[in-house]
Amino acid sequence: MRANPIVGQGTSLQQWQASRHLAELPSIDILSLVPPGARAVIVAPHPDDEVLGCGGLLQVLAAAGRPLQLISVTDGSASHPGSARWPVQRLSVVRPQESAEALRRLGLPMHRLKWLRGGFTDSQVAAQEAQLCEFIERHLRPQDVLFATWSEDGHCDHEAVGRASAEAARRVGASFHELPVWTWHWATPEDALVPWQRARKILLSLEQIARKRHAVHAFASQLEGDPDAGLTPVLAPYVLDRLLQPFEVVFL
């Protein structure tokens, strides 16, 4: 992983909108990736990554009646280091609650959603990668289609989750696809580090984008910083702009 590439305001929405690579990406029907009879398994490093990375994808799958399993690897309690307003104990309770509300806002059938909490340590997932791989493997079936954050996404937890998920899928024989999340921050539009040849767009309707936007605003803790601790919001407006485009990207 590059040394902490998630600094500053990153690459602007306008730069991405002018990207030749993004403009030329072929689109794909998510229901062709998760055919009838298959289950989609989404592995989120922190509560909110499942919505930020694939909130539109989840809506499409839920509307089509595809079975869904969500694995939340950590509780996200390390998002505000040194904050008195958002201490670890508060975040460990609040962030999973925010995630549940966000999923409800997406219209997911919460009574049928299988949701597992991994209990791994936020910001320390790489040190527990072997255990995480085994945890994911135990909850996978060969016919599953697994989605996880890209193994080069720029955040240490995202990358460890990507590697562990890929290995678990390989062991079980499940399909595996990657989702960029923080890539939109540090990468440049024509960046050769991004596997554009594997990238496909999942086009979203206006209603799906609106639902995703509404869901993202359930993450109150991430929309707030803590000036007393010198912390800006994790999900600042310029971050959300990049994540609420009329498509999502998946690496095949």
The pLDDT mean for the chain works out to 96
Fill in the amino acid letter for 22. Answer: L
Model confidence at 172, in pLDDT bands (50, 70, 90)?
very high
Calculate mean pLDDT across residues 171-193.
96
The residue ranking higher by pLDDT, 190 or 169, is 169
The count of domains in the chain is 1
pTM: 0.97
pLDDT at 4 over 90: no
Q: What is the pLDDT of residues 131-153, one digit of tens each?
A: 999 999 999 999 999 999 999 99
Parallel, antiparallel or unpaired: strands 199-203 and 175-179: unpaired
Model confidence at 5, in pLDDT bands (50, 70, 90)?
confident
Calculate mean pLDDT across residues 23-32.
97
DSSP code for 116: E
Task: Transcribe 15-82 into DSSP letters.
Answer: HHHT-HHHHHPPB--HHHHS-TT--EEEEESSTTHHHHHHHHHHHHHHHTT--EEEEEEE--TTSSTT
Q: Is residue 85 part of a domain?
A: no
- Which structural domain range is residue 123 located in? 13-77+91-251
Distance of CA 111 to the CA centre of its chain: 22
Calculate mean pLDDT across residues 29-46.
97
Model confidence at 1, in pLDDT bands (50, 70, 90)?
very low
Q: What is the pLDDT of residues 12-22, one digit of tens each?
A: 999 999 999 89
Q: Is residue 82 part of a domain?
A: no
Q: Is residue 179 part of a domain?
A: yes
Q: Is residue 34 part of a domain?
A: yes
Q: Is residue 96 part of a domain?
A: yes
Q: Is residue 150 part of a domain?
A: yes
Q: Is residue 127 part of a domain?
A: yes
Domain of 198: which CATH number?
3.40.50.10320
